[in-house]
Structures are given as C-alpha cells and as structure tokens.
Structure 1
Amino acid sequence: MRLALFDLDHTLLPLDSDHAWGQFTVELGWRDAETHTRANDAFYEQYKAGTLDIHEYIRFSVAPLAEHGVDKSNAAHRRFMDQVIRPAIRPVAVELVRRHQAAGDQVVIVTATNEFVTRPIAAAFGVSELIAIDLERDPQGNPTGAIWGTPSFREGKVARVEQWLASRGLSWADVEHSSFYSDSLNDLPLLEKVTEPVATNPDPRLSAIATERGWRILNLFE
C-alpha cells in the first residue's frame, strides 16, 4: 500500500475550517459575537502555539450543535459549505489530491477538526477516507461535548492512522511508501513517522524544522 495523508486546515484549505465554522455560528445568531469570537480566537492562538487543550476546545466548539439539534445543524453546515468552504477550495489543492489518487495512492485526510465539520469537506475533495476527531453523541445523535476515542491531534494522529491500518488488517510494515502534507508543528509526530514529510504552507516553526532536516517545502497557495 502507498499512503498519501493530508492535513486539512491551512494545508488543503487556505483557512481553518473549525475557526470558520465557529464564526459562521455567530453569523447565524447562535452565539454572542463578542464573547464567542474572543474565545474562538484565543483557542486558535493556543493551537498555533501548540498549547491547546483539545478536550476543552471540543466542549466549546460543539456546544451549538447540541443546543440546535442534528437537523438544524446539518442544514446550517450545508449553507457553510456553500458560502464559506466551496469558494475557498483552490484548484491546485484538488489537483494535488487527484494526482495521488491517479497514481494509485490511498488518500486519507487526517485532521484535528471534528468529523461534523470536516466530513462534507473531505467529500468535496473527493476523499472518502477521513480520520477526524470523533464526537461522542447522545441517543438522539447530538454531541455531548466529549471526544469519542483517541483524538486525532498531535501524537493522536499517529495512533489514529495505526488504528485505521489495523482495521484493514494492516500495519506500518505493510505501507510501501507514505507521505504526509501538513502546515503545522502540531503534526510533527506524524510528519516524522512517514516516508516523505511535506511541509505544506508551513508555519514559521515547521518551516525552520523542514529546512534543517531537508524536508520538501510546498507553498501550495502562492
């Protein structure tokens, strides 16, 4: 097997879908603009700094879904896709994914954003395999605010890829070649695991590490 793994936010997308969804809920009137924006921005800065408590952030980010229910949330997300995400998808990113697919690579998006936000985005890229943060849900299907299983965040991305392989009766030993595209230092554990790490639109700290180690640097949106 040949694996092509992709981070999503600021890698395939020129924005952070989780942060953008939070701002979209403000526009819907689901959250007080000043309070939510301040907290959302603070969490985003913590993510970039590598200090984010992912469990605390998930409780914050999925609260509107529980309050408004599955049907209303899904309808809102369809509007989010049309108004925010699809206009942001760049042909160059789609072409990169298609190139790996045409080469016979198994393409998987591996993201620290939750599956509610990202599954429709993965589908828009034509990618059926998604490893994202799974949300614990109540009997009605509403998120409880907790994470189900291992969060696909930092070292958890490596664990989740290993779980994904194991579910197919495979391990890293069965992977002939693996690449991982990411912009963030948070993804260093998985970048170090694959055959070909690609620092994609990298933040300054990842760019410095990639340069030092001789990793490929891809500025996809320039």
Structure 2
Amino acid sequence: MPQPAQSPAGTGPNASGKIPVLNNIAPSIFVPLQDDLLTQEPPRDRVERLKRILQTIDYQREGVKENLLYMFEREKTRIVMEAAEIEKAQPPPSIKPGLALSEIDDIIANMEAPAQPGRDYNVRDVPLPVPMMVPPNASLRDKTVIQLLNVVEQGLGELEGFEKHMAGIKDRYLGVVKVLAKVAGCLLVEESLILRRNVATGGKRRCSANLKSSHMLP
C-alpha cells in the first residue's frame, strides 16, 4: 500500500511546525486506486460485480487502517518534537523528592498482602477510556506523556470502530452473494426440468419467486 510522503522533520528551532496538528482524520478514507477504471472491463454478471465489491471492501479497509496508523504516528512525532523544542528553551527541571523509605515499605507490604477470601477480583466490565486532562501544574514531560497516551487511545478507538463498520458492510454483501447463489441453483434445476419436459409447478414457482426478489439486490 503506497503511503503519502512525510515532510522531513528537520532539526531547526521550528522543526515541529512542519507537522500540522491532527485535527481531522477524514482524509484517511482516500486510498489509491488499484486499476484504471476507464480501461477496466465491466463485470459480466451480478455475481462478478459483487465479487469485485468485496475485493474493494477488503482493499479499502486495509488502506484506511494504514492511513490512520500513519496519521496517529505522525501526531505522536509532532508532540515529542514540540516538547523537545520547549525543553531546550527552559532551564533544567527541578528534581522531585522521592518517596520516603517508610512509604515504600507500606506500598510493598500492601502488594504482598494475601487476597481476601471469598472476594472476586475478576474485572468483568472494562469501561471505555476517558481522555486524561492535562493538569495545569504538570511538568513538561508529564504533559507530553499524557498527550501521547491520549493519541494512542484515540487511535485504538478509531481503528476498532472502523473495523466494525467495514465488517458490517462486508457481511451485508456476503449475504447478497448467498441469495444469488441459491437463485442460480434453482434456475439450473428449472432449466433441467424444462429440457426433460417434466416441469414441477411448485419448484418453478419457488424459483420464480426467488428470482423476482433478487431483482432488488445490487
């Protein structure tokens, strides 16, 4: 899958300015065409047309996923580069004092404590991730980490939602293919009966009904 060319990041003081902020993922739906539509022969029948549609769905799905990954990866690069530029212009950060030894002992003792008998520790429902708000007094590195985590969570959510959307579309067309296959099989039986001049009236009506309903399909 060809990828759009990324602008060189550079190392100057305004290097991150070459990567725009990710505000909209709509451009990810555009995927390069595989063949020239003007020179491609049209499908011979409805079954071949549906097969081409299914191939296009798979190709479009993979292309959009790659575009989304590229866009979110570029946004992560922009955040890191922007933080590096700001950090260069700031004085060395103050070192925060660590935990006291007594607090560390209490934490370890709590982790080593046995489980309460009869209590179920299994997590049955995992809530959807909520974007973390950046505290106003957070350090530059803490802000950067929170921004990166938000980008990752947003990317995973978009990818999962798009995958479900495309799976539903593909299932719909697969159902249409199954209906057409049944209709085609019924027509073959009917033609065989006509050749033998022993047409079964009930079977013919069922075939005709299926054929009539299939006219509404793509």
TM-score by length of 2: 0.20
Q: Which has the larger helix fraction?
A: 2
Q: Which has the larger strand fraction?
A: 1
User: Computing the radius of gyration over CA atoms, which structure comes out larger, 1 or 2?
Assistant: 2
TM-score by length of 1: 0.20
